[in-house]
Amino acid sequence: MVFVAVGVAGGFLGSLVGLGGGVFIVPLIVLFMGVPIHQAVAASLVAIVASSTASTIGYLRDDYSNIRLGLTLETATTLGAVSGGLTAHAVSREALSALFGVVLALGAVYLFFRRGETEGGAAEGSDTGRWGGRYDDRHSKREVRYRVRRLPAGLAASFIAGNLSGLLGFGGGPIQIPVMTAAMGIPMKAAAATSNFMIGVTACASAVIYYAHGTIVPSLTVPLVLGVTAGAFFGSRLAPRVRGRHLTAGLAVILLLLSIQMLLAAFGVRIR
């Protein structure tokens, strides 16, 4: 039941901000439950596939997900995910913990300083271009239109995000969402929804490799999947009613706290 509860919390928070839950689940079960990090990463990847499916259903209903853009970026992300999954078992537990902590810290700092721009960074106008999109924002009660800028930068970031996803089991959201909002001009809600759609495919590519290595433990993975699926569904239903900058600020604080914990754990210091 503990793993189910962790899954519900991780899926709910991850769905709200487009991360799929792995970025919360892995630190929690490694730091507070003593699960080996390679097993935690493997279980997280399987759970992310479930959470992505559950949350994407809700986001598609409200037209937040940009499927055309997501499929384009996913070509690079999947290649990176396979590369990261093949490399992960050669990396030590301490190195993975330290890398996880650094990635979380960079994502937290970046999002904190960009939090005021995530709703206003989209270009408004009648022409959304080939990769842009539109949706009705329930909170502001207006239609939001945006054009996508710097697609090559998005593809490069997606490849890096895929690598880190395969190594760390968080789906790549902490890399993809900042790039989408700041470099590509995508509003936070659209970025979160599109990221939720993408991370399921990314995680699936890496999970197959972990399964081949025998790292997936059913007694850990099954309850996490059940919890994450439920949490992600409810999170996706709540997200349209929350301000984008509030989502970003909350994400930044949580990522920073988890980052500190993972960095300390990499050097043998645990705070419980």
Q: What is the pLDDT of residues 134-155, one digit of tens each?
A: 887 766 677 888 888 899 989 9
How many CA atoms does the CB half-sphere of 54 hold within 13 Å? 27
Q: CA torsion sign, 154 to 157 to 163 to 167?
A: negative
Mean pLDDT over each residue of the chain, to the nearest integer: 79
Residue 271 lies in a domain: no
Which is nearest to 39 in space by CA: 169, 226, 163? 169
Looking at the domain assignment, is residue 93 inside a domain? yes
Q: Residue 216 and residue 18: Cα distance in Å, rounded?
A: 24
What is the C-alpha separation between 243 and 74, in angstroms, rounded?
27
| Structure confidence at residue 18 (pLDDT) | 62
Report the domain count for the chain. Answer: 1
Contact 248, 111 (CB under 8 A): yes
Confidence of residue 101 (pLDDT cuts 50, 70, 90): confident
What is the Cα–Cα distance from 197 to 60, expressed in whole angstroms?
Answer: 9
Q: Is residue 272 part of a domain?
A: no
- Among the listed residues 39, 9, 36, the one whose alpha carbon sits nearest the alpha carbon of residue 25: 9
Asked whether residue 98 carries a pLDDT value surpassing 80, the answer given is yes
Residue 155 included in any domain? yes
Q: Cα separations (Å) of 217 from 28, 130, 207, 269?
A: 17, 43, 12, 26
Domain that holds residue 258: 2-266
Lowest mean pLDDT among 38-52, 55-69, 74-88: 55-69
Over residues 40-65, mean pLDDT: 78
Tokens describing residue 233: 């569904």
Predicted local distance difference test score (pLDDT) of residue 246:
67
In a domain? residue 253? yes
Higher pLDDT, 129 or 213: 213
Q: What does pTM read for this prediction?
A: 0.74
CB-side exposure of 272: number of CA atoms within 13 Å? 8
Residue 204 is assigned to a structural domain of this protein? yes
Query: Would you say residue 14 lies in a domain?
Result: yes
Strands 142-146 and 133-137: antiparallel
In a domain, 142, yes or no: yes
Per-position b or e across 171-198, b if 16+ CB within 10 A of its CB: bbbbbbbbbbbbbbbbbbbbbbbbbbbb
